[in-house]
Amino acid sequence: MSLDEYRRKRDVRRTPEPVPAGDPQPGPGHRFVIQEHHARRLHWDVRLERDGVLASWAVPKGLPTDPDTVRLAVRTEDHPIEYLEFSGEIPAGEYGGGAMTIWDAGTYETEKWNPREVIVRLRGDRATGRFVFIRTERGSGRDTGKDNWLLRRSGPAPGREPLPRDVLPMLATPGPLPRAGDDRDLWWQVGFGGRRVLVRVEGGRATITDEHGAELSVPRLRDLGPSLGATQVLLDGELAGPTDRPELWIGDLLHLDGHDACPLPFQERRSLLEGLPLDGPHWKLAPVFHGGGAEVVAAAAQQGLPSVVAKDAGSPYEPGRRSAHWLEVSTGPEPARTRRQPRHDGGVTRVGRARLTNPQKVLYPLTGTTKADVLNHYLAVADVMLPHLRDRAVTLVRWPDGVEKPSFFEKNVSRHAPEWIRTARVGTPGGRSEKADFPLIDDAEGLAWAANLAALELHVPQWRLGPRGGHQPPDLVVFDLDPGEGTTVVDCARVAERIADRLAADDLVAYPRTSGGKGMQLYLPVTVTRAEQTSEFAKALAEELARETPGRVTDVMAKARRRGKVFVDWSQNNPHKTTIASYSLRGRARPTVATPVTWEEVRACRRPEDLVFTADDLPARIAEHGDLLAPLFTLRQRLPRRG
Ligand SMILES: [Mn+2]
């Protein structure tokens, strides 16, 4: 027994693994360890103490859990005894680079041990029972260079049921919204109008089948299997979004680690689901709401989602059946908007505690748009706009005498805001004072207050306030595409498409919006650990585009350098910068609006007018699309390291 090969494969200075200097001391051994190893490919390393070393096999799918399953096990070099207790991160680039954790450890008895066959009984916490390793005929493997063995267990694992195959999802019965009085115990789950699937995960590998049992290939979910490690699970979900960039919303559980979950009441299945690590870049638990069906249906309709499924809290999962325990309520045609009606008394218009003075004052002379019209715009878009403002410090841009007269930026509203306007004290480096009391606008009253100030434009940063006034890291990356002299939003649209292609290569999705001015923006919902990540990412991408087509794109702010080019302004990701809020008016000649658009509209844009929308266009667009930027609230993408 020798550790020569083990030492030869490792650089003592770079790996945290134990590399003992001395020779192994032969002796009886009865300990084992199984490590879960997230190397280039996830596998489990089974190591048995023998003759002073650990005889080792790499098992790509882990130990079999039933006697009918045979697993490949590749014999690897003997490891030192010290490895019984090793866990840690082997640096990328080193042999076996990746995270290694102890999956199980314990003792074992040897029943048989020869060069062709090893039979052991493992006694661990997770690994128990009799296991047989048999070297394959081609085991000496000169062709593959690999020492291949087959591994099976004799006898079922005690108390475990096999993970089922060939099952189909449970279906809901369509029906009307139950009356509020008919208060059955219901959990409401929003439907995204996608494709129902079952996801079977075993040995760190996921298999996805559709509602007819056909297997689907979904490259975006390739990391879902490894992320669950050895957990055996059968999930019910919905693949939503564009077919080439789907998101998986997981709504139910059929099996977990050797136990059939179908007979359990929904409530218990849901709490088991919530205990699993199922929050990935492209997969999440579907949100559910206990009770409040009418509100959930209304909110789903608002978001343009097709239906909501009500699951009876106590009901089992019935695979392949259309069951009365699940009720599918269509959000139907868009319900009549619940417009917040302003009240008029005397010469004053009121919305809650906000009052609008001089409602007939014309703020856009070219179109005759009055202050009352501005208020009506903000009330018409309130439902889709407010979520974009929530918990963000708002900068107001005010045109007290209309858009043909001067305007001013206002961050600090402490002097005049009524006490019912929430404010947040936020640093303003380079500003007149170190900090300012920014308004927070979270309801229609707040919007009406802003309208009364002739604050036509509301600007927000790419981050939200956290508890006790702290900053959260940014949750958005913004690419502001600004057409230089001699170019238009048509050129911006072409650059937007290039950015989208570039992002798609990294499995990232961005959402387009007009600026309401000359250009447009792309928003990328993200989750980051360092605040600078979003700026760095946007800057690197902007530089890349400018390098590739220096005649068309610039990443430099200087006006003179922008002639004939689109300026990809990455600097708005700076935490001290702001961008026009979605659905805000602009203080331009006409009441144009920063309007979310579809990628089809971006691709079809041939004339600048194709991507210009005014306040009059918005109600119909919202009725048709809901909030096209709603994914900014649910999708959390991780940024790759660039360069
Ligand atoms: Mn390994």
Three-class DSSP labels, 408-448: EEECCCCCCCCCCCCEEEEECCCCCCCEEEEECCCCHHHHH
The pair of structure tokens assigned to 183 is 């208060």
Residue 32 clears pLDDT 90, i.e. is over it: yes
Q: Report the pLDDT value the prediction gives residue 642, as an integer from 0 to 100.
A: 54
Distance 76 CA to ligand 1 centre (A): 9
Numbers of helices and strands, H then E, in the chain: 10, 37
User: Token pair 């238009």 is at which residue?
Assistant: 488
Distance 107 CA to ligand 1 centre (A): 20
The Cα–Cα gap between 120 and 232 comes to 24
User: Token pair 């911006």 is at which residue?
Assistant: 492
Q: Are 492 and 481 in contact (CB under 8 A)?
A: yes
The pair of structure tokens assigned to 241 is 């979004």
Distance 60 CA to ligand 1 centre (A): 9
Distance 91 CA to ligand 1 centre (A): 13
Distance 95 CA to ligand 1 centre (A): 9
Q: Report the pLDDT value the prediction gives residue 1, as an integer from 0 to 100.
A: 66
Residue 230 host element (H or E):
none
Question: What's the average model confidence in pLDDT over 549-574?
Answer: 90
Which amino acid belongs to residue 612?
Answer: V
Residue 159 CB neighbour total at 10 angstroms: 7
User: Token pair 């509209």 is at which residue?
Assistant: 601
Q: Report the pLDDT value the prediction gives residue 96, as an integer from 0 to 100.
A: 94
Percentage above 90 pLDDT, the chain: 67
List the beta bridge partners of residue 174: 328
Distance 30 CA to ligand 1 centre (A): 21
Nearest CA-CA partner of 572 in 530, 528, 539, 612: 539
Distance 45 CA to ligand 1 centre (A): 5
Q: Are 73 and 59 in contact (CB under 8 A)?
A: yes
Q: State residue 375 phi and psi, 5-degree precision.
A: -60, -45
Distance 164 CA to ligand 1 centre (A): 29
Does the domain at 472-643 match CATH 3.40.50.720? Answer given as no
Distance 94 CA to ligand 1 centre (A): 12
Nearest CA-CA partner of 187 in 286, 332, 44, 56: 286
User: Token pair 């402490």 is at which residue?
Assistant: 414
Distance 92 CA to ligand 1 centre (A): 13
Distance 227 CA to ligand 1 centre (A): 16
Q: Which CATH architecture has domain 337-460?
A: Alpha-Beta Complex (3.90)
**Residue 504 DSSP code:** H
Distance 207 CA to ligand 1 centre (A): 23
Residue 643 clears pLDDT 70, i.e. is over it: no
Residue 264 host element (H or E):
none
What's the sign of the alpha-carbon dihedral 570, 571, 576, 578? negative
Distance 497 CA to ligand 1 centre (A): 42
Residue 17 clears pLDDT 70, i.e. is over it: yes
Nearest CA-CA partner of 487 in 549, 401, 580, 395: 549
Distance 106 CA to ligand 1 centre (A): 19
Distance 98 CA to ligand 1 centre (A): 9
Distance 50 CA to ligand 1 centre (A): 18
Distance 8 CA to ligand 1 centre (A): 16
Distance 234 CA to ligand 1 centre (A): 26
Question: What's the average model confidence in pLDDT over 130-148?
Answer: 75
Radius of gyration of the chain (CA): 30
Distance 556 CA to ligand 1 centre (A): 47
Distance 170 CA to ligand 1 centre (A): 39
Distance 421 CA to ligand 1 centre (A): 58
Distance 59 CA to ligand 1 centre (A): 9
The pair of structure tokens assigned to 380 is 């018409």
Distance 124 CA to ligand 1 centre (A): 20
- Assign 14 a pLDDT band (cuts: 50, 70, 90): very high
Distance 18 CA to ligand 1 centre (A): 14
Distance 71 CA to ligand 1 centre (A): 16
- The residue ranges of every structural domain in the chain are 4-154, 171-330, 337-460, 472-643
Question: What's the average model confidence in pLDDT over 463-492?
Answer: 92
Distance 37 CA to ligand 1 centre (A): 5
Q: Are 535 and 521 in contact (CB under 8 A)?
A: no
The Cα–Cα gap between 345 and 111 comes to 93
For 294-342, the pLDDT digits (tens) are 889 988 888 888 889 999 999 999 998 888 899 999 887 543 333 466 7
Residue 141 clears pLDDT 70, i.e. is over it: no
Q: Given phi > 0 = left and psi -120 to 50 = alpha, else beta, which region is 553?
A: beta
Lowest-confidence range among 45-49, 214-218, 405-409, 564-568? 214-218
Distance 537 CA to ligand 1 centre (A): 33
Distance 149 CA to ligand 1 centre (A): 16
For 282-298, the pLDDT digits (tens) are 999 999 998 888 889 98
The pair of structure tokens assigned to 208 is 């996805």
Distance 527 CA to ligand 1 centre (A): 30
Nearest CA-CA partner of 332 in 300, 286, 287, 310: 300
Q: Report the pLDDT value the prediction gives residue 135, as an integer from 0 to 100.
A: 93
Q: Are 199 and 237 in contact (CB under 8 A)?
A: yes
Distance 123 CA to ligand 1 centre (A): 21
Distance 144 CA to ligand 1 centre (A): 18
What's the sign of the alpha-carbon dihedral 291, 193, 284, 511? negative
Q: Report the pLDDT value the prediction gives residue 640, as an integer from 0 to 100.
A: 87
Burial 86-98 (b: 16+ CB within 10 A, else e): beeebeeeeebbb
Query: Given the DSSP bridges, would you call strands 186-191 and 395-398 parallel, antiparallel or unpaired?
Result: unpaired
Q: Are 11 and 19 in contact (CB under 8 A)?
A: no
- Assign 255 a pLDDT band (cuts: 50, 70, 90): very high
Roughly what angle, to the nearest 10 degrees, separates helices 371-389 and 618-625?
A: 30
User: 418: burial class by Cβ within 10 Å (0-12, 13-18, 19+)?
Assistant: exposed
Distance 58 CA to ligand 1 centre (A): 6
For 407-458, the pLDDT digits (tens) are 999 999 988 999 999 999 988 876 667 889 999 998 999 999 999 999 999 9
Cα 434 to Cα 250, 366, 412, 425, distances in angstroms: 46, 39, 11, 10
Residue 532 clears pLDDT 80, i.e. is over it: yes
Count, residues in the chain? 643
Long-range CB pairs of 466-469 (<8 Å, 24+ gap) are 469/424, 469/425
Question: What's the average model confidence in pLDDT over 558-563?
Answer: 82
Nearest CA-CA partner of 310 in 127, 174, 143: 174
The Cα–Cα gap between 377 and 372 comes to 9
Distance from the Cα of residue 511 to its chain's centroid: 14
Whole-number average pLDDT of the chain: 90
The Cα–Cα gap between 425 and 412 comes to 9
For 379-402, the pLDDT digits (tens) are 999 989 999 999 999 999 999 999
Q: Report the pLDDT value the prediction gives residue 260, as an integer from 0 to 100.
A: 95
Distance 73 CA to ligand 1 centre (A): 11
Distance from the Cα of residue 415 to its chain's centroid: 40
The Cα–Cα gap between 421 and 398 comes to 17
**Residue 303 DSSP code:** T
The Cα–Cα gap between 599 and 608 comes to 16
Residue 29 clears pLDDT 80, i.e. is over it: yes
The Cα–Cα gap between 437 and 452 comes to 19
Instruction: Collect residues with CB below 5 Å from ion ligand 1.
Output: 37, 45
The DSSP line for 10-73 is --TTT--S---SS--------EEEEEEEESSSEEEEEEEEETTEEEEEEETT-S-SSTT--EEE
- CATH class label, 171-330: alpha beta
The pair of structure tokens assigned to 54 is 């650990």
Q: Report the pLDDT value the prediction gives residue 138, as an integer from 0 to 100.
A: 61
Residue 184 clears pLDDT 80, i.e. is over it: no
Which amino acid belongs to residue 500?
Answer: A
Distance 44 CA to ligand 1 centre (A): 7
The pair of structure tokens assigned to 517 is 């001015």
User: Token pair 């595409």 is at which residue?
Assistant: 481
Nearest CA-CA partner of 253 in 169, 145, 376, 358: 169
Distance 275 CA to ligand 1 centre (A): 27
Distance 399 CA to ligand 1 centre (A): 66
If one compares 26 and 15, the residue with the highest pLDDT of the two is: 15
Q: Report the pLDDT value the prediction gives residue 234, as an integer from 0 to 100.
A: 98
